[in-house]
Amino acid sequence: MVRAAVLPAVGAPLEITRIELPDPGPGRVRVRLAAAGVCHSDLSLSNGTMRVPVPAVLGHEGSGTVLAVGEGVSHVAPGDPVVLNWAPSCGTCHHCALGEVWLCAGALAGVGEVYAVTEDGTELHPGLNVAAFAEETVVAADCVLPAPAGVPLTDAALLGCAMLTGWGAVHHSARVRAGESVVVFGAGGVGLATLQAARVAGAGPIVAVDVSPAKEELARRAGATDFLLASPTTAKEVRALTGGRGADVAVECAGRAAAIRTAWDSTRRGGRTTVVGIGGTDQQVTFNALELFHWGRTLSGCVYGNSDPAADLPVLAGHIRAGRLDPGALVTERIGLADIPAAFDAMLTGRGGRALVVF
């Protein structure tokens, strides 16, 4: 039996309880968690913005050590440090055939499975495949990737979502070029990773926008050259910082209609606006037909940074070892399982960067 944070029903508070995991069967791996990041997507799952079967163990950004492997697993062995991959690609669907592995049709097939039970026998689902809000987990073999050498295992947890998403938003989705101006809306974990990635890309100026003045120091350490408090005049202020034109690239990391609209308005004519944040169906963004023609901007969604984790993790690791990226700088507090609800509250109020559950 191991301790886990269980979501008993959509909208219900998490319950810290003991669960029983099976031995890993064919194609499965048992992992002892070292750390798990508390991502806004976990909050979206708990409140029903995104739907998964419940009861479930949430947590999708994690790292740990392999305890045991089932038959047929050869790419990792007991004792290996690993990063959890919550969206493994099948390699055979239409999107995978096009090289769009981040849109794999089967990536979340595992969320409907029963992977564990509580002490009273209640069946549990893995919230986003990997169920990282637990001391241990059992996952499909393609949900584990060897952790990069030279990266502390607790820091490596951030590679599983925040760092990959921020890196990919800049380098895969927006394709930021050296010298281009970038504005990032939201300085939480993903936003801070995006700022770091923009700095590595050689962007400038790099403007961070957030609702909390407490985020300024975090944002500047991550690479922001300027910081703005979100307001009705944000787009005008961004234009003033970018030669009166607007930013070449805007990246929205909050998932809010107002922020998406302001990101669009902050982008120059012909610029690119990338939406990373996950908003609810009630977050409606409107445009008129004339402005779409006149401004010639590109508006695109970005799933998991449009990344291929197997290919991108070694790239990120190289930048981390060289000191150009720092996943640890995203972490504003290290907590235990029981502190996850407070971390959810902090995200709702715009406080902090990334809370990291350390086991």
Q: What is the rounded CA–CA span in Å between residue 339 and residue 186?
A: 23
Output the DSSP codes for 262-278.
Answer: HHHHTEEEEEEEEE-S-
Query: What's the half-sphere exposure (Cβ side, CA atoms, 13 Å) at 320?
Result: 25
Confidence (pTM): 0.93
The pLDDT of residue 352 = 67
Phi, psi torsion values for 279, nearest 5 degrees = -105, 165
Q: Where are the domains of the chain?
A: 2-160+326-358, 166-303
Residues 112-150 pLDDT 10s = 899 999 999 999 999 999 999 999 999 999 999 999 998
* 187 vs 350, higher pLDDT: 187
3-state secondary structure of 61: strand
Hey, which CATH number is domain 166-303, 3.40.50.300, 3.40.50.720, 3.20.20.140, 3.40.980.10? 3.40.50.720
Q: What is the rounded CA–CA span in Å between residue 36 and residue 30?
A: 16
Residues 159-169 pLDDT 10s = 999 999 999 99
Q: Mean pLDDT across the stretch 269-290?
A: 93
Residues 76-96 pLDDT 10s = 999 999 999 999 999 999 999
Residue 28: pLDDT above 90?
yes
CA distances, 83 to each of 162, 285, 314 (Å): 13, 35, 12
Strand partners, 206: 182
Q: What is the rounded CA–CA span in Å between residue 41 and residue 60?
A: 9
Q: What is the rounded CA–CA span in Å between residue 262 and residue 215?
A: 19
* Class of CATH domain 2-160+326-358: alpha beta
